[in-house]
Structure 1
């Protein structure tokens, strides 16, 4: 059975306050006060009734956190009777101070102000109605100052508690926001890596598939040609492994110089001749045309242009059909890079919505995302004279 620690602590506190209050109530009777030269006119001697009223005034302390205002009201009743019956203010006011502090600590400002006003009114009423008179106005002022000070201490604790709760809540919100940002960054990185892996794997596997099919057809009739096709497959596979190793390398947490040295530069427009030659070996006659004066390109645009050509040629290899040819055109301009991949084959299949595009998969999505990332304009579809084309125009800032 679980024990409510706060209720247990309040019960112990109530017993402690009651014990102290009863002891002081009995010790500081009229005889003791008179011996010390204090006025005791009309004060009643301690008796069983007085002790009972003191204990009753301290009992509500046991529920001061659960029902602070009700406990204060219940405690003020026997305290008022103590004053009215002539026992004087006594030390029963100790429980009243604890209960006033509790209301100020655990309730809102309006209720706390009401509790302070109630305590002041109750004290004044008991002092006026009882037979015991204070030595002067300074005694009333001291009591009022003590009540206000206790109330202020309770409010200060409540405000500090609220401030700490706000700090905890803010820290929790920041932690959630940080976790959300981390998840978003991870998702974005996974998407980027997925696009890179698709571009590499789809291209090289397509080339290897076409070469393997050609080797199978000529294996019996022309072993030498089949051997060349198998060598091309081996070379393409090694290239695919190298590029995949470079991409996966970014996932490593080791930041040492030798780990970074394993990562080669990303492919770009400068590597298009090798890509075109690879497509020729795979069985797709391909020409590369360069217009304008080549200039250094931003790394992101350079990689995006290469991936676009790679994806376009891969789809031409897949869907253009036998006898088709492809032309890659790269036009350099002062403010724009124009990249086109066109073939004269049968083109890609038409989508249900009626829009001609690349076959479904990561390829089209990856191209669109890459071009959009750098503010480019992408057009994909059939050509007027037959065939299929992919074109992207990347804007360049300040001639770069």
Structure 2
């Protein structure tokens, strides 16, 4: 599929929605494999006719004006041919024919007014001049256009106006042959219903498209919010903790303060790198793609660097990673890292812990991630914040489950299990 910028897009379906929302994700630019040459595509069996693009370029109002002109011409020829039978004379008949045909020129822009004018002229023609065999078909087109182009409430005027017009048109004939006006009225109402139903289906499709657009936008906003919270928010929290420690040790331990300041500088650079990566999600270029065709993101292999970064704050991180946990799909790899990152960020911000244990292992088709600290535990009135809600969203997308609360020996414990396909 190609987007408005000419790039190719693939469709990704998120199964956790009630109605799966389809998000457009740009595919990475592809290069031809080596030792191949481009083969020109087969030409079409026949060249496209140049007349069709020209016809499509004609405005719809011009087609409506042409339709009105055709009806007027046919009705004028019929009126001239029946001039001897006309009661009010030929000029009056031609004026009424023009009043019946002309509203078709505005059948898209003024469908209700146009139809009422045409139906009134048709009734006057039938009552005072002579019923025309062509005028009712112009009225049928106007009634169909009323159902198709008018708003919902105005479109419902059509059936009642058609009933009155039919009563006037068949005022004399209806007494002798009541079946004819009944059948004609049914046909006219069927034309209105076809236009009305087509318009309503179009409205439903547009409403579904707008709803899907809102869901995709909301999902993208939530994803970017998670990225900012998980990456930039984490590194800024580490910087704040290091800044607080440096402030307290500035006078007593200048050497330790210099180490903390150096760690802050290093962590700040990492925060800028994370921010640059998240902004790259909004403005992607050819260089923003990794080998899997996605923006580069950290995974389980980067947990050691994460533990080292947190170690500069004085928190002791015990890391246990199952070698099999490093060989999981990309989505699980990134999610496991983000879950651990959020848990450690909460430990630094809220727990007041001295140490924390991180375990990532793969067993029985599941990837288990567990983080336990020895901090203050769960406070009274505890409620999950944005970070834990983001973890729950990640786990839900992947079809897993997550639990968090007080640990067995104390402190706080978070455990997530993700199914491995």
TM-score by length of 1: 0.64
Superposition deviation, residue 180 in structure 1: 2.4
Map 1:1-400 to 2 at 5 A: 24-25=83-84, 65-66=115-116, 75=125, 93=130, 96-97=132-133, 100-101=136-137, 106=143, 118=171, 120=173, 167=198, 169-252=200-283, 255=285, 257-260=286-289, 265-291=296-322, 293-321=324-352, 324-351=354-381, 356=382, 360-397=384-421
Shift of residue 170, structure 1, vs aligned partner: 4.1
Does the CA-based 8 Å contact 1:309-1:328 persist in structure 2?
yes
Q: Note closer, same or farther for the CA distance 1:248–1:63 as it changes in structure 2 (3 Å cut).
A: same
Going from structure 1 to structure 2, the CA distance change for 1:69 and 1:344 (only over 3 Å counts) comes to: closer
CA distance in 1, matches of 2:242, 2:356: 17
Which of structures 1 and 2 has the bigger CA Rg?
Answer: 1
How far apart are 1:202 and its partner, in Å?
A: 2.4
User: Per the alignment, do residues 57 and 309 of structure 1 end up closer, same or farther by CA in structure 2, a change over 3 Å counting?
Assistant: closer
| Runs of 5+ unmatched residues, structure 2 | 1-64, 101-114, 144-157
Distance 1:317 1:103, change over 3 A: closer
Whether the 8 Å CA contact 1:57–1:75 is kept in 2: the answer is yes
Change (3 A) 1:264 1:221: farther
Contact 1:61 1:98 in 2 (8 A): no
Residues 74 and 246 of structure 1, relative CA distance in 2, 3 Å threshold: closer
Report the Cα offset of residue 229 of structure 1: 0.3
How many equivalent pairs are there? 316
**1:35-58 residue CA offsets vs partner (Å, 9 max, x unmatched):** xxxxxxxxxxxxxxx976777878
The superposition leaves residues 23-72 of structure 1 with CA deviations (integer Å, 9 ceiling, x where unpaired) of 944xx9xxxxxxxxxxxxxxxxxxxxx97677787887687553777766
- Return closer, same or farther for 1:240/1:120 CA change in 2, 3 Å cut-off: same
Could you say which residue in structure 1 is the equivalent of 2:52? Answer: none
Q: Which moved more, 1:178-187 or 1:102-111?
A: 102-111
Q: Which residue of 2 aligns with 1:45?
A: none
Q: Distance in 1 between matches of 2:248 and 2:199?
A: 71
- Unaligned stretches of 5+ in structure 1? 1-5, 29-49, 79-91, 126-147
Q: What is the Cα deviation at residue 393 of structure 1?
A: 1.3
Q: Which moved more, 1:177-186 or 1:193-202?
A: 177-186
C-alpha displacement at 1:348, in angstroms?
3.9
In terms of fraction of residues, the more helix-rich structure is 1
Contact 1:69 1:115 in 2 (8 A): no
Question: 1:228 offset after TM fit, Å?
Answer: 0.7
Change (3 A) 1:395 1:168: same
1:209 counterpart SS class: helix
C-alpha separation in 1, matches of 2:270 and 2:203:
48
**With structure 2 as the length reference, what TM-score do the two structures score?**
0.61
Superposition RMSD on alpha carbons, in Å?
4.4
Q: Is the 8 A contact 2:300 2:325 kept in 1?
A: no
Between the aligned partners of 1:346 and 1:70, the Cα distance in structure 2 is 84
Contact 2:122 2:165 in 1 (8 A): no
Do the aligned residues in 1 keep the contact of 2:83 with 2:90 (CA within 8 Å)?
Answer: no
